Amino acid sequence: MKSIMSPLDLSTAELDELMDTAEDIMANPAKYAHACDGRLLATLFYEPSTRTRLSFEAAMLRLGGKTLGFHSSDSSSATKGETVADTIRVVSSFADICAMRHPKEGAPMVAAAVSQIPVINAGDGGHQHPTQTLTDLMTIRALKGHLDNLTIGMCGDLMFGRTVHSLIRALIRYENVKFVFISPKELMLPSYIRDDLLTQNNIAFREVSRLEDVLPSLDILYMTRVQRERFFNEEDYVRLKDFYILDKKKMQLASPDMLVLHPLPRVNEISTEIDDDPRSVYFKQVRYGMFIRMALILKLLEIKVD
Ligand code: NCD
């Protein structure tokens, strides 16, 4: 029984297999429609989410399984003081697999250590978000055709954004990937990523604060929102939230092949005026996310479909 806490829990070969399965599901949904008949997925969300939770639920329902769960800590026994470890022991008797989101870094690992069923980390604080990373990798592979030889810009809240932290870990395993990190000074990458991961592994990267200067050089631009809920004071958030706004004028500077990704929800950082630009793929990305979660559920439940 395997749990997924970080994208590194899967080898690049396993990632490729998952993406192949996800593409097969997209092409032949009927073949998979009953693959999880009689199975239950629990969604344990201690922190708000629309996309990720619905994506997991849609994934399980489309495989013929069912779902149960809670979507805020207020509606769980956490309010009575129950620990995550006890909650997962209980849920292990009801469900076959679970997805957990928690505001505290490491909470899903605590759960996985005592769980009888596979646990998928659906986002833990500012730490990791492996299924978003699978979504991002699949989007890039499907639309660019490869994951190596890319210059990837990551823009916005690089300090608190867990999607960025997870995606960097996954991407450094591919050949000749270069990063450009675009953020205000206050929201630069934490040193445990910059120094301990990138510098230590001799990965090429630059840190800049102006998006315009680097746009022409990018193959991928990964935009993120400023993570309001992880700020200590509202004033700092208000000062930084509109630092970057990707609009038509800026998109003119970018290559005709650049892709714009965003894990969503978007706030102001991408103007709706570029939603129709063929390079804006963030809504396609959401759809890939559901299919890759279907593939992951099948893998963790060890279900094979011929
Ligand atoms: C992201 C998250 O929760 O970290 N959203 C998501 O899962 N699609 C990004 C965000 O909240 O900014």
Query: Confidence class of residue 25 from pLDDT cuts 50, 70 and 90?
Result: very high
CA of 304 to the centre of ligand 1 (A): 30
Active site residue: 39, 62, 71, 101, which one? Answer: 101
CA of 143 to the centre of ligand 1 (A): 21
CA of 67 to the centre of ligand 1 (A): 21
Pocket of ligand 1 contains residue 101 by CB under 6 Å:
no
Q: Is CATH 3.40.1080.10 correct for 7-128+286-300?
A: no
Residue 239 has pLDDT above 90, yes or no: no
Pocket of ligand 1 contains residue 230 by CB under 6 Å:
no
| pLDDT tens digits, 45-71 | 999 888 899 999 999 999 999 999 998
**Superfamily of domain covering 130-285:** Aspartate/ornithine carbamoyltransferase (3.40.50.1370)
Give the CA radius of gyration of the chain. Answer: 19
Domain regions of the chain by residue span: 7-128+286-300, 130-285
What is the model's pTM? 0.95
CA of 87 to the centre of ligand 1 (A): 24
Query: Confidence class of residue 241 from pLDDT cuts 50, 70 and 90?
Result: confident
User: How many whole angstroms separate alpha carbon 289 and alpha carbon 267?
Assistant: 20
The pLDDT, as a whole number, for residue 124 is 95
Active site residue 129: yes
Active site residue 52: yes
Query: Confidence class of residue 132 from pLDDT cuts 50, 70 and 90?
Result: very high
The residue whose C-alpha atom lies closest to atom 6 belonging to ligand 1 is 263
Give Cβ neighbours of residue 193 (< 8 Å, ≥ 6 apart): 165, 168
The answer to whether 7-128+286-300 and 130-285 have equal CATH topology is yes
Active site residue: 43, 52, 133, 139, which one? Answer: 52
